[in-house]
Amino acid sequence: MEYNSLIEFISKNKEHKDIPCLEIKEFLQNTSKSNIYAVDGGNAVIIDGGTWIISKVRTAVVLYNKNRVNESHTSYIVANTENAVKSEPEEEIALPKKIEISEIPNHFRKIMEVEECIKSVEKAEKDDIVLCDFLFIPDNVVIALKINELIKKAEKKGVVVVGIGKTSRANIKGNSLIGFLNSMNQNKKSLWYSILEPASNYTDLVAKLYPLSKYTYRINTNSKDIENTLGILSYYSSDTAIPGYPYPLIRADWLARITDNEKHLEKTEIGKNKDYRKLSMDERSMDFHERLDEHAHK
């Protein structure tokens, strides 16, 4: 099948779908600069031995108010097919019943992220915003419990928690939800949002945070004053270099990210351990793709 026919196939199927009309509301940017805590996490597998894994996970918090404050926490996790342990402090990680070993670092990163959000809520004052780089829709029970704890604590302190999904596969009858909303507002240079579902403890919505942005994000929040919260988020999303996405989250992403260079350094350090040689044979079970990449014509 050629590209043209592929595109035709997708377009035809879209046309026949009956899409309900969602209510779109406009809002204004709010420059009242509330304290905003942005939390993000990053992880990388340092060594994959097939039946075991060593991974590095880092979370970062950036507080934006008069003076910017950065904070980051790093942990290492070691996991095998049975269980997983994290470092500093060393303790076992609660795992859902069914999880692939390769998914454990992601799972633990999400836990660390939610825990970091909880810590930020504890530090925050009433009406401060804690901005999370995840939606409140959990992957499993372990994370569901943590998210629940986060929302409850925020509710109790009067702190607004906002979760942002950078990408979404949400759809209405097979059509991309965000794609559909974007097409409806193609030429609009305004800030707008549309509530998908007012849940009991948080609202699920879609919003565009910068007039010229080509991106719309799915947002979950416990805020009672949605337009005010979105107005503040819009202010923090007005950085001209990366418009439309909250800048504090970008900053947190830079801090939390584990670069390839860092990964290689960690691997080198581990390789210096004399007992590691026995284990290094296991790596051969997983690293052939890397070997191929090294030989590939780039």
Partner 1 sequence: MNLIGNVVGGSVGEHIVIRLKSDSKVDVGDIIKINSGNDDYFGKITNVKIFSSVPEQFIHEIAGQKLEHGYENHLFDREDRFFRIAEAKVLKIMRKNVGFVPPRSIPEYFSQVNVIDSSDFSFMQNNGRIPIGFLRLGTKEMDTFIVKLKGEELISHHILVVATTGKGKSNFAKVFIRGLMMEPNSSAVVFDPHAEYYGEKNIKGLRDHPKKSKVLYFTPRTAEFPGSESLVIHADELNPSDFMGVVNFSDAQVEAMDALYKRAGRKWLAYLINTDMSEIEKSLDSKVMKATIASLKRKVCYAMELEDEREGLVFTTRESINNMSMFKKVINAVMNSKIIIVDTSIIGGESEKLISGAITRRIYNFYRKAKQQNPDYFKQLPETMVLFEEAPRVLGKEALAGGSNVFEKIAREGRKFKVGLCAITQMPHLIPKEILSQMNTKIILGLPSSADRTAVIESAPQNINDESREIQMLDRGEAIITSAFTDFPMPVKIFNFSTILEQDNEQMKEQKTFIVGME
Residues that bind partner 1 (CB under 8 A): 64, 68, 211-212, 236, 238-243, 247-248, 251
> DSSP secondary-structure letter at 100?
-
Q: Which is nearer to partner 1, 27 or 236 (CB)?
A: 236
Q: Which is nearer to partner 1, 133 or 204 (CB)?
A: 133
**Least Å distance between CB 261 and partner 1?**
15
**Least Å distance between CB 213 and partner 1?**
11
**Least Å distance between CB 266 and partner 1?**
20
**Least Å distance between CB 117 and partner 1?**
21
**Least Å distance between CB 239 and partner 1?**
5
Q: Which is nearer to partner 1, 62 or 121 (CB)?
A: 62
Interhelix angle 260-271/276-283, nearest 10 degrees: 130
Rounded distance between C-alpha atoms, residue 187 and residue 138, angstroms: 34
Q: Which is nearer to partner 1, 200 or 240 (CB)?
A: 240
Q: Which is nearer to partner 1, 101 or 242 (CB)?
A: 242
Rounded distance between C-alpha atoms, residue 195 and residue 229, angstroms: 14
Query: Taking CA 82 as the corner, what is the angle to CA 89 and CA 98, rounded to the nearest 5 degrees?
Result: 105
Q: Which is nearer to partner 1, 64 or 108 (CB)?
A: 64
Find out whether 93 and 86 touch, Cβ atoms under 8 Å.
yes
Find out whether 124 and 132 touch, Cβ atoms under 8 Å.
no
Find out whether 59 and 112 touch, Cβ atoms under 8 Å.
yes
Extended strands (E) in the chain = 25-26, 36-48, 52-64, 69-80, 84-86, 91-92, 129-132, 160-165, 171-172, 175-176, 192-198, 203-208, 217-221
Helix (H, G, I), strand (E, B) or coil at 193: strand
